[in-house]
Amino acid sequence: MGTLIINEFRKLKRCDVLLVFFISLVFTDLLSIFQLYSGNEHSLYNYTDFMNIVIWDSFSLVLPAMIVIFSNYLINVEHISGALKNNITCAVSVNKLYVSKLVALCLINVVFAALNAFLTYLIFLFLPHKSEPIYHSLISTIQLIGISLGVFIAVLPILILFIRQASSYLNVVIAFVYGFVGVFVAGQNLQDYYPITAFLKIVNYNNGSLTYHGNTSYITVFIVLLFSLIAWIFMAQKLKKADYA
């Protein structure tokens, strides 16, 4: 399994989606700057204020769709290059191959979240701002990474259920709508019940307008993971039959 995951990272050398992913993160940061200073250009904000908006824009506009787009690339590259048949010939389990792709995607998502936090901090240094204790900034960085992991878990059922239709990009549209609806769900203080926004409570995100409901977020995440497991068991059988046919 470890070798398969490493091989997935090696394939990224020829992956143009990485650049798209990076550009989307820069776009999120620029949009957050506009939102932060729009109408309040003379106000000063700290890094936590800025990161709160970045986190909000990330889960609602960028991350769900980009994770699915990246997943589509990792899955389609096997079919386009013909490597899938070679892997089967070499007795590589199809299920293990797809699991390695999902694990690699999760790790890539976390790495990009860390890079985005670093990029956000660099951009913030060039903006008018007020200082805050360094540990507050570190907490905000951890929150962004946590939200990125949470979004991956939230879209995991979509990745699994569409794993055989990764070239249709219907899953990208579904993921984008899935994330965007989270804005309205959170606006009604129902974020604990919605998978995309459930991690807001878990990472202790607080923009001053949300009210959390006990441990409901943890239950929501558990249900998503359980559903993902059931979906994978179902899809694993289909994958075996289709790819060995």
> Could you give phi then psi for residue 30, rounded to 5 degrees?
-65, -40
How confident is the model at residue 236, as a pLDDT?
83
How confident is the model at residue 37, as a pLDDT?
79
Number of neighbouring beta carbons within 10 Å of residue 232: 21
How confident is the model at residue 180, as a pLDDT?
93
Q: Which residue has the tokens 């940061």?
A: 29
How confident is the model at residue 85, as a pLDDT?
54
> Could you give phi then psi for residue 45, rounded to 5 degrees?
-125, 155
- pTM comes to 0.88
pLDDT per residue rounded down to tens, the chain (245 residues): 777 777 777 777 667 777 888 888 888 888 888 888 776 666 778 888 889 999 999 898 889 998 998 888 887 776 555 555 555 555 567 778 888 888 988 998 898 889 888 888 888 888 887 888 888 889 989 999 999 999 999 999 999 988 877 667 888 999 999 999 998 998 788 899 999 999 999 998 887 778 888 889 999 999 999 999 999 998 888 776 655 44
How far is residue 131's CA from residue 80's CA, in Å, rounded to a whole number?
A: 50
Q: Which residue has the tokens 């606006």?
A: 187
Tens-digit pLDDT profile for residues 7-42:
777 777 667 777 888 888 888 888 888 888 776 666
How confident is the model at residue 99, as a pLDDT?
85
Structure tokens at 223: 């249900």
